[in-house]
C-alpha cells in the first residue's frame, strides 16, 4: 500500500492528540503537518501542546511546526478534530482543493453527499464521495457521534442476523467525551449528570443513517425506532451503554450470543491495520463489560458486550462498553481512511 502524507487539524485538542498518538508509526499514513490555534503560531508542536495522553509524545512529531491555517496544506489525507460549528466550511474548502478529509466533527455528518461511516457497519456508504464532485477527487468522510458508533457496532451483528426494528439506550458517558478540561469537578464528583447537550439528538438521527441504504446517491435511513437517554458519569475513559433491542426474528439467547461471537466486518476481511481481530467481544461474566476493564479491547477498537438477557418490553437487552476516544473518535476515522485507501478512493 502506498504511504500517504497526513495532516491533523485541531492537533492540540483532546481528539487531535489521539490522532497524533495513533498515527505514530502507522504503515500507510505519515503525519507531516499539524494545525492548531493562532496563539501558538510559530511554535513547535511539542511546545504548543499540553500533552494529555498516557504515552509519551512521539519524538518524530515533537519538532513539527504548528501551522495556524490550512492554506497551502500539502498533505493528501487530512484528519479533522476541529470543533463543531467551525469545522464544516474548512473541511469543504479542503475537499474542493483536492484533499481527502476524514472528520470527527459533527458539522457535515448529516449532509446528503457526505458518507457517515462505521467501517464494519456501512462500508458501502463510502461511495457517496463520488457525488461530491470536487476537482482532484477531494472529499469529506464523516465519523459519527461516539455513543452512536459504539451502539451501532454492537447492534450490527443482531441487525444482520435477525433484523433490527427498535432500540432504547441509556448511555453512561466518560469525562473524556467532553474534551479537555472537560466537566467542572464540582459538577461531576459524587454525581451523575442526566443531560448532555445535543447528544440524544445525534444518537437518534445517526443510528438509522448508519443502517440505511443508498438509493440514487442518497442515504435512506433504516426504519429503526431509536430512543436515547445520555448521561455523564465520573469515569475517565470508556462509554457504557445499557441497550434494549427489538428484533424482527425471535432468536434464542444462544443464537444472539453466537451472532456476537462470529461477527466480522469488511475491515477484518481486509485485515486493515487499525481493525481489531474481533470487533464485538462477548463477555460471559455476570459483571462485564466495564469501562475500566474493557475499554482497551482490540486496542480500543472493539466494543464489548455482555449481560445478554430477555427484555419484557423490546425482546432482548445487553450492556456494551468501548473506547469513546479511539473507536468512537480518532481510531474510527483512521479506520475509515484505511478502508477508503483499499477501495481506491485515495
pLDDT at res. 29: 98
pLDDT of the residue at 277: 98
Low-confidence ranges of the chain (pLDDT < 50): none
Is-cis flag, bond preceding 50, omega within 30?
Answer: no
Pick the CATH number of 4-144+330-342 from 3.30.1380.10, 3.40.50.720, 3.20.20.70, 3.30.465.10: 3.40.50.720
Q: Which three cell numbers stand for residue 236?
A: 475517565
Helix, coil or strand: residue 30:
strand
| Cβ 261 vs Cβ 283: under 8 Å | no
Long-range contacts of 233-236 (CB under 8 A, 24+ apart): 233/172, 233/173, 233/174, 233/188, 233/192, 233/193, 234/175, 234/188, 234/189, 234/190, 234/191, 234/192, 235/172, 235/174, 235/175, 235/291, 235/292, 236/174, 236/175, 236/176
Spatial distance between the Cα atoms of 239 and 324, rounded to a whole number of angstroms: 6
- Backbone φ and ψ of 192, nearest 5°: -130, 130
Quote the pLDDT of residue 41: 79
Cα–Cα distance, 288 to 318 (Å, whole number): 10
User: In this predicted model, what pLDDT tens digit does every residue of 173-200 receive, in sequence order?
Assistant: 999 999 888 899 999 999 999 999 999 9
pLDDT at 132: 87
Cβ count within 10 A of residue 309: 11
pLDDT of residue 135: 61
Domain ranges of the chain: 4-144+330-342, 146-324
Query: What would the pLDDT profile of 312-346 be if each residue is shown by its tens digit?
Result: 999 999 999 999 999 999 999 999 999 999 999 99
Catalytic center residues: 146, 239
Nearest Cα residue to 138 out of 180, 174, 91: 91
In CATH, the number for domain 146-324 is 3.30.360.10
Amino acid at each position: 500500500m502506498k504511504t500517504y502524507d497526513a495532516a491533523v487539524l485541531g492537533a492540540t485538542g483532546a481528539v487531535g492528540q489521539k490522532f497524533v498518538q495513533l498515527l505514530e508509526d502507522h504503515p500507510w499514513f505519515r503525519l507531516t503537518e499539524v494545525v492548531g490555534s493562532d496563539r501558538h503560531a510559530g511554535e513547535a508542536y511539542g511546545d504548543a501542546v499540553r500533552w494529555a495522553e498516557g504515552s509519551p509524545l512521539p519524538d518524530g512529531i515533537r519538532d513539527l511546526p504548528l501551522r495556524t491555517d490550512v492554506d497551502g496544506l500539502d498533505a493528501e489525507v487530512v484528519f479533522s478534530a476541529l470543533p463543531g460549528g467551525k469545522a464544516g466550511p474548512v473541511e469543504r474548502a479542503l475537499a474542493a482543493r483536492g484533499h481527502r478529509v476524514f472528520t470527527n466533527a459533527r458539522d457535515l455528518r448529516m449532509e446528503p453527499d457526505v458518507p457517515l461511516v462505521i467501517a464494519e457497519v456501512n462500508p458501502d456508504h463510502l461511495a457517496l464521495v463520488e457525488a461530491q464532485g470536487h476537482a482532484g477527487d477531494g472529499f469529506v468522510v464523516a465519523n459519527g457521534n461516539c455513543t452512536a458508533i459504539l451502539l451501532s457496532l454492537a447492534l450490527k451483528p443482531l441487525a444482520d442476523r435477525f433484523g433490527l426494528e427498535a432500540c432504547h439506550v441509556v448511555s453512561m458517558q466518560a469525562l473524556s467525551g467532553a474534551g479537555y478540561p472537560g466537566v467542572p469537578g464540582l459538577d461531576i464528583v459524587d454525581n451523575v449528570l442526566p443531560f448532555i447537550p445535543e447528544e440524544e439528538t445525534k444518537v437518534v438521527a445517526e443510528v438509522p443513517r448508519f443502517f440505511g441504504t443508498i438509493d440514487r446517491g442518497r442515504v435512506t435511513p433504516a426504519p429503526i425506532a431509536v430512543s436515547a437517554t445520555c448521561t455523564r458519569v465520573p469515569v475517565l475513559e470508556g462509554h457504557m451503554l445499557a441497550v434494549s433491542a427489538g428484533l424482527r426474528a425471535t432468536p434464542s439467547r444462544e443464537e444472539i450470543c453466537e451472532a456476537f461471537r462470529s461477527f466480522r466486518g469488511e475491515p477484518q476481511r481486509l485485515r486493515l491495520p487499525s481493525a481489531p481481530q474481533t470487533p464485538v467481544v462477548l463477555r460471559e461474566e455476570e459483571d462485564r463489560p466495564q469501562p475500566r476493564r474493557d475499554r482497551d479491547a482490540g486496542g480500543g477498537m472493539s466494543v464489548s458486550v455482555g449481560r445478554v438477557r430477555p427484555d419484557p418490553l423490546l425482546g432482548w437487552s445487553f450492556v456494551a462498553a468501548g473506547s469513546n476516544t479511539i473507536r468512537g473518535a480518532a481510531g474510527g476515522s483512521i479506520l475509515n481512511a484505511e478502508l477508503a485507501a483499499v477501495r481506491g478512493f485515495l
